[in-house]
Amino acid sequence: MTIKPNRRQVLQGAAAVAGTAVFAPAIHANPAPIKLGTLASLEGPLAINGQDAYRVVELLLEEANYTAGGRKIEWIRESSNAKPDVALARTRKLVEQDGSDIVLGPLSGAEGIAVRDYSRTVPTKTFINGSSASQDNTLRNSSENYFRFSTDGTQWTAGLGEYAKNTLKIDEVTVVASDYAFPYSQVFGFSLEYTRAGGKLNYLWTPFGTSDYTSLIAQIPKSSGALYVVYGGSDGLAFLTQYAQAGGSLPLLGGTLLADQTLFAARGPHRKVLEGTVSAGPIGDYYENDVWKDFLARYTKRWSKDIGQQTPGTLAFAYSVNLQATLLALKAVDGDLSNDQAAFREALKKLEFKNYIDAHVKLDHNRQAISDNFLNKVEVRDGRLQTVVFKKIPSVNQTLGFPEDKYIALGAPSRNNPGNVQI
């Protein structure tokens, strides 16, 4: 499939899909709306991220007039709390009670693995990731009807470990992270790069949803030259607040969700330690790119009066990429979901497009995105904290450029397998 964007489509990060010989226009025997079920965490530590994700989904569906491929879209929303069992129960409801044709979600790491496993039991439906960034959603035991057009947590680290060791000249870093699937992916990717460059790492883990970080802060080795902080949502806010109150002064390397507008928008002492943080991820707030500026203008016009936030967070942006792919594929097949959605899934597999930050997106054989990553620094721009893009890492694949067989042989990321190896 080829994509031929005109100027307006490029500015909106969309694409016109050519190739009618591959996907012939369908005549709909059933003009009923396509039921798009969505799942995001509106409860628990990542609730602010889930709220932001739904803002982006609503914006893009409004812009599409709740239509794709000539058919109306019925949007069905569900909420989770970042726990796999709850995500599974709510996904089952979307499919088995609400009759969703397509499920977009979930938001958090371990939730995605639960939804992927469930997808195998419902082969007539298509599941498209929201922002769950656990690597094993797609790399190991992948499901034929589960797709992810956003990059995963390991891909989001690309470039940061090497930059910390070779450019910032930091010889020892202490990792502080939540003890669950998404941080495992982030820590794994950073560790591979940083140790390959010759750096030394220490690891400190805390349960997801921790509120008191006093004892962890006391355990940070004095030999540390920086902290790699892999917290997000209320966990990130609590850690940074307590670290600032304890007089913490080490340079911060940010896990992707640490340097995020959902934290920048909050007030408190955490802001003074955030400035100067170097991070990596699929977006940055301040980026000299017309596609990104256009998307931010649309997001701000729709939502800033309600929330005072001018940039979507990382997880919300992931939802935008996956919804963009969904709408493009529906357009390519004229909304045809017949024959167990075979044509729709084939269109998804063949998509190549530019997302809303102008990054090129395509899928690998596991139906996982290969796309660009960005290095950012937290600075005050226009009177507010922003992540400022200073480098693009192009075409990052899921194994960070390593041969897949050798990469998989390292084992799945975990607290006991944090990527501190050489390959």
In the predicted structure, residue 8 carries a pLDDT above the cut 50: no
Mean pLDDT of 317-340: 98
| Among 231-235, 251-255, 290-294, 414-418, the least confident range | 231-235
In the predicted structure, residue 367 carries a pLDDT above the cut 60: yes
The model's pTM is 0.88
Residues 22, 33: contact at Cβ < 8 Å? no
- pLDDT at residue 22 in the model: 40
Which band of pLDDT confidence, cut at 50, 70 and 90, is reported for residue 421? Answer: confident
Q: Which residues contact 300 (CB under 8 A, 6 or more apart)?
A: 310
Q: How far is Cα of residue 388 from the mean position of the Cα atoms in its chain? A: 18
Domains 7-150+289-370 and 155-287+373-409 equal at CATH topology level: yes
Percent of the chain with pLDDT over 70: 92
Q: What is the mean pLDDT of the chain?
A: 91
| Among 83-97, 300-314, 352-366, 393-407, the least confident range | 300-314
| Among 31-45, 220-234, 253-267, 360-374, the least confident range | 253-267
- pLDDT at residue 110 in the model: 85
Mean pLDDT of 69-86: 96
Residues 213, 243: contact at Cβ < 8 Å? yes
In the predicted structure, residue 290 carries a pLDDT above the cut 90: yes
Task: Collect contacts of 264-272 with beta carbons under 8 A, ≥24 apart.
Answer: 264/384, 264/385, 264/386, 265/307, 265/308, 265/309, 266/237, 268/237, 268/241, 269/241, 269/244, 269/245, 270/237, 270/240, 270/241, 270/243, 270/244, 271/385, 272/244
- The span from the CA of 136 to the CA of 323, in Å, is 21
Burial 252-261 (b: 16+ CB within 10 A, else e): bbbbbbbbbb
Which band of pLDDT confidence, cut at 50, 70 and 90, is reported for residue 30? Answer: low
Mean pLDDT of 187-203: 96
In the predicted structure, residue 303 carries a pLDDT above the cut 60: yes
- pLDDT at residue 26 in the model: 46
| Among 10-19, 334-343, 372-381, the least confident range | 10-19
Mean pLDDT of 63-68: 98
Which band of pLDDT confidence, cut at 50, 70 and 90, is reported for residue 415? Answer: very high
In the predicted structure, residue 122 carries a pLDDT above the cut 60: yes
Domain 7-150+289-370 bears CATH identifier 3.40.50.2300: yes
Q: Which residues contact 222 (CB under 8 A, 6 or more apart)?
A: none
- pLDDT at residue 307 in the model: 73
pLDDT tens track for 136-192: 999 999 999 999 999 999 999 999 999 999 999 999 999 999 998 889 999 999 999
Mean pLDDT of 311-323: 94
pLDDT tens track for 210-254: 999 999 999 999 999 999 999 988 899 999 999 999 999 999 999
Which band of pLDDT confidence, cut at 50, 70 and 90, is reported for residue 263? Answer: confident
DSSP type of residue 156:
G
- The CATH superfamily assigned to 155-287+373-409 is Response regulator (3.40.50.2300)
Mean pLDDT of 279-308: 92
In the predicted structure, residue 3 carries a pLDDT above the cut 50: no
The structural domains of the chain, with segments of one domain joined by +, span: 7-150+289-370, 155-287+373-409
- pLDDT at residue 420 in the model: 86
Residues 21, 57: contact at Cβ < 8 Å? no
Residues 343, 126: contact at Cβ < 8 Å? no
Please report the beta strands in 107-208, taking only residues with DSSP state E, as ranges in sequence order: 126-128, 146-147, 172-178, 200-206
